[in-house]
Each structure stands twice: as C-alpha cells, then as structure tokens.
Amino acid sequence: MSVLSGKKIVLGVTAGIAAYKTTYLVRLFVKSGAEVKVVMTPSAKEFVTPLTLSTLSKNEVHSSFTNEEDDNAQWNNHVALALWADLFVIAPATANTLSKMAHGTCDNLLLAVYLSAKCPVYYAPAMDLDMYQHPSTKATFKTLASFGNIQIPATHGELASGLVGQGRMAEPEDILAFLEAEIGKNLPLKGKKIVITAGPTYEAIDPVRFIGNHSSGKMGYAIADEAANLGAEVILVSGPSHVVLKNSFVNTISVLSAKEMYVAVHEHFNTCDVAILSAAVADYRSKTVASEKIKKKEGALILQLEKTDDILASLGKIKTNQFLVGFALETQNELENAKSKLEKKNLDLIVLNSLKDKGAGFKGDTNKVTFITKDNKVVPFSVKPKTEVAKDILQYILQQIHA
Ligand code: CTP
C-alpha cells in the first residue's frame, strides 16, 4: 500500500506540453488510493481535456472561478478546495505559473487555490532548457523554496522544442515516488521497528486436530496497518487468520503454534523499538503430538496438557529500551487482573478488554478497551472500530516514545 492511500490530492495542471502526462499521473494517484481533484489554468485545457481528467479522477475539473456554461453560474470555491487538500501538486508547472506563484498574482482559479492552500505544495517544473536556466526562473525557485514549496526537479532529456537539456517534467512514476518518499520521511514512526503479534495459535494434538481459540486477528492486523501508515517498519507475527492486509509495508511472518510465535518474536525483539503482543496465544498445548490421527475408542480420551512459554513475560524479562505492550482479556476482576499482569510481565502498557463489555472481544469489528499505564493511570475508551482502537494505542505509544 502507498503512503498516499487515503490522501486528498489537488493536482494543478498548467499549460505545458507535459500536461498530457497528467492523465497517467492522475491514474497513478488514484491507483495508490488517493482521492484526486484537478484544477487547471484556462490555457492548460488546450493541452489536455478536462473531460479526460475528470473521468480519470472521478471528480469535476475546474479551471475558472465560476462554471461559465451554467446559466445559474456557481462559484467554484477555491478556499474550500485548498483546505480539502492534504497536498497540492502542480504538474506541469510552467515558468509563467511559477513566477505568478512567487509574486502572489491571482488571476486564475489555480493560483487562488495556491494562495489559499495550507497543505504542503509540490511543483514539477516543465519548460525549455534556456527558460529553466534563466536567472529569473532561478530566483523564482528560491522564492518558492522560501515559502516552503517543494520542487520535484525537472530532468535532462529531449524537450518539446527539439532541443536537449534540463527542463523535462519528471515522469509521472517519478513524481509519485518523490511524493511517497517525501511523505514517508516525515511520518512520526519513521525509523522505528515494531513487532506485533496477532491471531490465535493452533497447538497440534495429531495431524488433523489442534487446540485453538476464536481470535480473528482483526485487532493485531489493524495495529499493524496503522503502525505502517505512521511510517514504522512492521513485523507482524500472525497465527492463522483470515484477515487480508493489503499493506505492502507490513512484513508478515505466519506461524501456527505458540512455540513458532515465540521463536519469530524473539528473532526481532532485540532490534525493535516497540512490541505489541495482541495474539491470543494458547496457554496450554498437548504434551504429546500423535504422529497418526487418533482413532475413536470406547470411553474418554485423556489429553495431558503442558504450559506454553509466555512470550510476553519472556520479553518483559529481557527488555532494555523497548516499549512493551500487552493485552489482557478478562471476564472478572478486570482492572485488578490487568494491573497485576502489567507488573508481573514488566510492561509499559496493558490494553484491557473485558468480555463483559458489549462490542468488545474476539470476532467483531469493534472493541472496548481500557489502557492501564506503567504509572498506574487507568484510561477507559468507548466502543469503537478496531481500526480506531489501533489509532488510540499507537498515539499513546507515540507520545511515550517521543516524550
Ligand atoms: N501472551 C503471550 N504468550 C502466552 C500467553 C499470553 O505472549 N503464552 C500474551 C498475550 O498476547 C497478551 C497477554 O500475554 O498480550 C495476556 O494474555 P492472557 O492470556 O490474558 O494472560 P495470561 O497471562 O495468559 O493469564 P490468564 O490466561 O490467566 O488470564
């Protein structure tokens, strides 16, 4: 998944030959999960049609302050459009538009959006080589940099004039990669490694049977997704789960048993900054695993169970700087039990969910949790989607590790 997923992008298209490439650019933005609205300068419409861009972006394209064709002409609200955007990308950006941006000129909708924008502004210059080298253009770049606008540098190559030199707009794929890298480096968990466990474990009895539980893995997967969206390197150690995670920034290690989960987690714990153990690990496994399917016989079958290793407790014993988070699923004396787990397992935070609460538990899409912190603070939350609970957990961790 791209870091642009869910982002709102206003794409400003100005009158350069490279405007035809914005059809690909819009497609790439949409494919990466972004929502795109296009504004054009009036002359840009001679290079690429609003119809093409509105079809590809699935949004109306605006190029003037009012809809001229409409008798009840409506004002195109540039302020609303600018405030809607998470990022404003101007590509291609001609020398003319860049100069107007540098000087505060506001004679078209695109420039009005630019002047109203509070979000990061990126621009991809496109012009002939001599225009690119002109001292006036260089001064424009300097002024725009002083406004905090970020340039996506033009490349060297054949230009519309037939000359060869610097001034070609960066290719759409390169614009996308540039934006992803820029946004990625500013994410709050950039450079942090997080290990997360999720799902149940299956403890084999024989080749076809196991001891398991009803955990779906939804909570842990939501945490992994959110952590990756915040820029972390994520190692998700997952027991069997049907959840499909479409986030290419999450490295999933699939395991079956508590033993396998223990090994995978320990492999990464030393080098991680945060570990969040949300898996419902089996506390017991069969002492022996039959090599052949156990046949039914008269009378009862007695299975002898032995304890699995407590992964969370083992991490609590060896942790140095890692921020360690555990989960507690309780049915009685919830707070008391959770607090004692926090202490016994040497945790920094325990996330309590009670099976008594409506909307909490294993299979659903919602959860109701209470945080118990190392300094004994109890923070209850309302019932919310597991994706929102994941956000609450990571926001708390962010506050703590950046404090
Ligand atoms: N956990 C673990 N390894 C285990 C058992 C549990 O890492 N073998 C972790 C879970 O992922 C969870 C936390 O420990 O983060 C709490 O698990 P829970 O089963 O509620 O607690 P237990 O310590 O097993 O105690 P009890 O079953 O008595 O409630």
CA–CA separation, 355 and 379 (whole Å): 18
pLDDT at 69 (0 to 100) = 59
- Collapse the DSSP code of 241 into the 3-class scheme (helix H, G, I; strand E, B; otherwise coil) and give the result: coil
Q: What is the mean pLDDT of residues 200-228?
A: 96
CA–centroid distance, residue 131 to ligand 1 (Å): 66
**Residues 186, 210: contact at Cβ < 8 Å?**
no
pLDDT at 304 (0 to 100) = 97
pLDDT band at 71 (very low <50, low <70, confident <90, very high): low
pLDDT band at 1 (very low <50, low <70, confident <90, very high): confident
pLDDT at 50 (0 to 100) = 96
CA–CA separation, 374 and 400 (whole Å): 11
Share the mean pLDDT of the chain: 94
Q: What is the mean pLDDT of residues 288-295?
A: 96
Which of 201, 236, 261, 277 has most ligand 1 atoms within 8 Å of its beta carbon, as the pocket-test mutant?
Answer: 277
Domain boundaries, the chain: 8-185, 193-401
CA–CA separation, 49 and 19 (whole Å): 10
- Give Cβ neighbours of residue 66 (< 8 Å, ≥ 6 apart): 73, 74, 75, 76
Which of 274, 281, 334 has most ligand 1 atoms within 8 Å of its beta carbon, as the pocket-test mutant?
Answer: 281
Q: Tens of pLDDT along 23-69? A: 999 999 999 999 999 999 999 999 999 999 999 999 999 999 887 65
> Is residue 170 predicted with pLDDT exceeding 80?
yes
Which of 314, 334, 341 has most ligand 1 atoms within 8 Å of its beta carbon, as the pocket-test mutant?
Answer: 341
> Is residue 395 predicted with pLDDT exceeding 70?
yes
User: What are 311's two structure tokens?
Assistant: 């992964």
- Give Cβ neighbours of residue 139 (< 8 Å, ≥ 6 apart): 102
pLDDT band at 17 (very low <50, low <70, confident <90, very high): very high
User: DSSP strand E in 193-269: where?
Assistant: 193-198, 203-204, 210-211, 233-238, 250-254
**Residues 401, 192: contact at Cβ < 8 Å?**
yes
Weakest-pLDDT range from 39-43, 314-318, 330-334: 330-334
> Is residue 277 predicted with pLDDT exceeding 60?
yes
Q: Over pLDDT 90: what percentage of the chain?
A: 86
312 Cβ closer than 6 Å to some ligand 1 atom: yes
* 328 CA closest ligand 1 atom index: 20
245 Cβ closer than 6 Å to some ligand 1 atom: no
Neighbours of 329 (CB within 10 A): 19
CA–CA separation, 10 and 82 (whole Å): 8
The phi and psi torsions of 112 (rounded to 5 degrees) equal -65, -40
- Give Cβ neighbours of residue 332 (< 8 Å, ≥ 6 apart): none
* 341 CA closest ligand 1 atom index: 23
329 Cβ closer than 6 Å to some ligand 1 atom: yes
* 279 CA closest ligand 1 atom index: 11
**Residues 109, 62: contact at Cβ < 8 Å?**
yes
pLDDT band at 331 (very low <50, low <70, confident <90, very high): confident
By C-alpha distance, which of 169, 176, 163 is closest to 15? Answer: 169
Q: What is the mean pLDDT of residues 138-155?
A: 98
**Per the residue annotation, which of 59, 67, 96, 213 is the catalytic one?**
213
User: What are 321's two structure tokens?
Assistant: 């700087």
Q: Over pLDDT 70: what percentage of the chain?
A: 98
Residue of 184 and 309 predicted with greater confidence: 309
274 Cβ closer than 6 Å to some ligand 1 atom: no
CA–centroid distance, residue 203 to ligand 1 (Å): 15
Strands 305-307 and 323-330: unpaired
- Give Cβ neighbours of residue 223 (< 8 Å, ≥ 6 apart): 196, 198, 276, 278, 390, 393, 394
**Residues 212, 280: contact at Cβ < 8 Å?**
no
Write out the DSSP string of 163-205. -EEEEEPPPHHHHHHHHHHHHHHTSTTTT-EEEEEESB--EES
pLDDT band at 76 (very low <50, low <70, confident <90, very high): confident
CA–CA separation, 300 and 255 (whole Å): 31
**Residues 116, 42: contact at Cβ < 8 Å?**
no
CA–centroid distance, residue 344 to ligand 1 (Å): 11
Q: Determine the CATH number of domain 193-401.
A: 3.40.50.10300
Q: What is the mean pLDDT of residues 279-289?
A: 98
Q: Tens of pLDDT along 238-258? A: 999 999 997 878 999 999 999
By C-alpha distance, which of 232, 275, 273 is closest to 251? Answer: 232
Query: Does 8-185 carry CATH code 3.50.50.60?
Result: no
Q: Decide whether 8-185 matches 193-401 in CATH topology.
A: yes
Catalytic (active site) residue 186: no
Q: Tens of pLDDT along 350-391? A: 999 977 777 776 778 899 999 999 999 999 999 999 999 999
Strands 366-367 and 121-125: unpaired
User: What is the Cβ-side half-sphere exposure of residue 90, based on CA atoms within 13 angstroms?
Assistant: 34
> Is residue 217 predicted with pLDDT exceeding 60?
yes
Weakest-pLDDT range from 65-74, 97-106, 356-365: 65-74
Residue of 162 and 145 predicted with greater confidence: 145
Containing 117, the helix (H) or strand (E) segment is none
Q: Tens of pLDDT along 172-190? A: 999 999 999 999 888 999 9
pLDDT at 70 (0 to 100) = 54
Neighbours of 207 (CB within 10 A): 12
